[in-house]
C-alpha cells in the first residue's frame, strides 16, 4: 500500500513538471541550434569570453581560467558559424567536474520520505551532435529528469544551452542561460586541493508555448551540487519552486587534472585520465566513457592534437 502511494506521488510530480504542453514542440527559431534529435543549424556566434583573475588571498575563491589549455581561442567562433569542436570542449571545461556517478536526494517528500537514487551519470557526448559536443547526464530513476545534454549556445558566445528530457520522456526542451551574477566559475584552496564552485541558470526558450522550465545548477564544491527546478505555468508570470535536488559524488573525482594532483590527461577533453584506450599497440588516457567512444571513432584526430603532434602513449 505504501509503495503504491509513493509511486502515485512521484508520477503526479512528474506530470506536474511536464505540464499540458510538455509533448508539444515548436519549430526552432532562426539562428537557434536544433535539438539533438534534429540536424543542427549553423548560426553566427559572437566571440566567447574567457575569464581570468588576479591572485587572491588563499582563503578566498578566485575566478577559474576557462579552457584548460585545450584551445588558445578560448571559445571564439571560427569561420564556419559554429565553434570548432576543440573550442566547444574548451568552453565546457567548468563542467568537467561533473563527470562520474552521483547519488541524489530530493528535498520534496514523496509520501513520507524524500526520493533518492544513485544512478545519475555524467559523461562527454561526441556522438549525438559531432559538430557540437556536450556533457550529458542520464538517470533512469530520477523523479524529474531523464537526460540533460549541456553544451554551448552557438548563437550567443557567452551562453550555454541544455536539452532537457523529463523523467517520463517526450520531446526535449531547450533551456539557455549563463552564470548567475557573482557566481561564475571560481576555485579556492582548502588546504589539500582546489575546490570549484559556480551557479548556472538556464531558462526555457524552446518551445515558447506551454509550461516553462527553469534549471539552476549550483556547484558547491568538487563533490556536491544542487539542481534547483522551477516551473511557470502557461500564460503565468510567476516561477514556482518545484524542488531542489542535492547530488553527492560517489567515490573520488577523477574529472579534473589538478595541478596539485598530477596525473595522465585525457587525450580528448584534457581532464584527468581514469581509464585507457588503445591504438596500434599503445595506450592513451581518457576521462570517461564518452571520451573513450570519441577516441575509438577517430583516434588519429585526437592523437594529432597532442603536444607537438607526437602521441604520448605507452
pLDDT for residue 7 is more than 70: no
Query: Phi-psi category of 60—alpha, beta or left, where left has phi over 0 and alpha has psi -120 to 50?
Result: beta
**How many other C-beta atoms are found inside a 10 Å radius of the C-beta of residue 277?**
22
Tell me phi and psi for residue 293, to 5 degrees: -65, -40
Mean pLDDT of 104-132: 95
- The CATH class of 2-19+64-249 is mainly beta
pLDDT for residue 126 is more than 80: yes
Query: Is residue 248 helix, strand or coil?
Result: strand
Residue 132 DSSP symbol:
S
Q: Distance of CA 229 to CAs 2, 133, 144, 286, Å?
A: 26, 24, 9, 32
The answer to which of 22-31, 213-222, 226-235, 292-301 has the lowest mean pLDDT is: 22-31
pTM score:
0.70
Query: Phi-psi category of 33—alpha, beta or left, where left has phi over 0 and alpha has psi -120 to 50?
Result: beta
Mean pLDDT (the chain, rounded): 77
Tell me the pLDDT tens digit for each residue of 54-107.
444 444 444 433 333 333 223 333 334 789 999 999 999 999 999 999 999 999
C-alpha distance across the termini of the chain, in Å: 58
Query: What ranges do the domains of the chain cover?
Result: 2-19+64-249
157 or 179: which leads in pLDDT: 179
DSSP code string of 252-306: ---SS-BTTB--PBPTTT-SB--EEEEETTEEEEESSHHHHHHHHH-HHHHHTTS
Tell me the pLDDT tens digit for each residue of 208-257.
999 999 999 999 999 999 999 999 999 899 999 999 999 999 976 555 55
Q: Round to whole Å and give the CA distance between 204 and 142.
A: 20
Helix spans in the chain (H)? 2-18, 85-91, 289-297, 299-303
Amino acid at each position: 500500500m505504501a509503495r503504491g502511494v509513493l509511486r502515485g506521488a512521484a508520477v503526479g510530480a512528474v506530470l506536474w513538471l511536464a505540464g499540458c504542453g510538455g509533448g508539444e514542440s515548436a519549430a526552432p527559431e532562426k539562428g537557434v541550434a536544433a535539438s539533438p534529435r534534429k540536424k543542427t543549424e549553423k548560426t553566427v556566434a559572437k566571440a566567447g569570453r574567457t575569464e581570468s583573475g588576479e591572485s587572491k588571498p588563499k582563503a578566498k575563491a578566485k575566478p577559474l581560467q576557462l579552457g584548460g589549455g585545450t584551445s588558445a581561442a578560448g571559445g571564439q567562433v571560427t569561420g564556419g558559424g559554429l565553434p570548432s569542436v576543440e573550442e566547444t570542449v574548451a568552453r565546457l571545461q567548468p563542467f568537467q567536474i561533473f563527470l562520474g556517478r552521483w547519488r541524489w536526494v530530493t528535498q520534496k517528500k514523496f509520501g513520507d520520505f524524500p526520493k533518492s537514487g544513485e544512478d545519475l551519470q555524467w559523461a562527454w557526448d561526441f556522438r549525438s551532435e559531432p559538430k557540437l559536443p556536450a556533457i550529458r547526464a542520464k538517470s533512469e530513476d530520477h523523479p524529474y529528469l531523464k537526460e540533460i545534454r549541456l553544451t554551448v549556445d552557438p548563437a550567443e558566445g557567452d551562453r550555454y544551452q541544455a536539452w532537457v528530457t523529463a523523467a517520463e520522456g517526450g520531446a526535449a526542451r531547450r533551456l539557455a542561460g549563463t552564470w548567475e551574477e557573482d557566481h561564475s566559475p571560481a576555485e579556492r584552496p582548502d588546504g589539500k586541493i582546489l575546490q570549484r564552485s559556480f551557479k548556472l541558470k538556464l531558462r526555457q526558450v524552446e518551445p515558447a508555448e506551454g509550461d516553462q522550465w527553469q534549471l539552476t545548477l549550483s556547484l558547491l564544491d568538487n563533490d556536491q551540487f544542487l539542481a534547483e527546478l522551477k516551473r511557470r505555468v502557461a500564460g503565468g508570470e510567476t516561477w514556482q519552486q518545484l524542488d531542489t535536488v542535492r547530488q553527492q559524488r560517489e567515490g573520488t573525482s577523477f574529472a579534473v587534472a589538478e595541478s596539485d594532483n598530477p596525473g595522465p590527461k585525457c587525450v580528448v577533453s584534457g581532464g584527468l585520465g581514469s581509464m585507457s584506450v588503445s591504438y596500434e599497440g599503445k595506450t592513451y588516457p581518457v576521462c570517461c566513457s564518452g571520451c573513450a567512444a570519441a577516441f575509438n571513432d577517430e583516434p588519429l584526430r585526437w592523437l594529432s592534437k597532442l603536444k607537438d603532434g607526437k602521441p604520448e602513449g605507452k
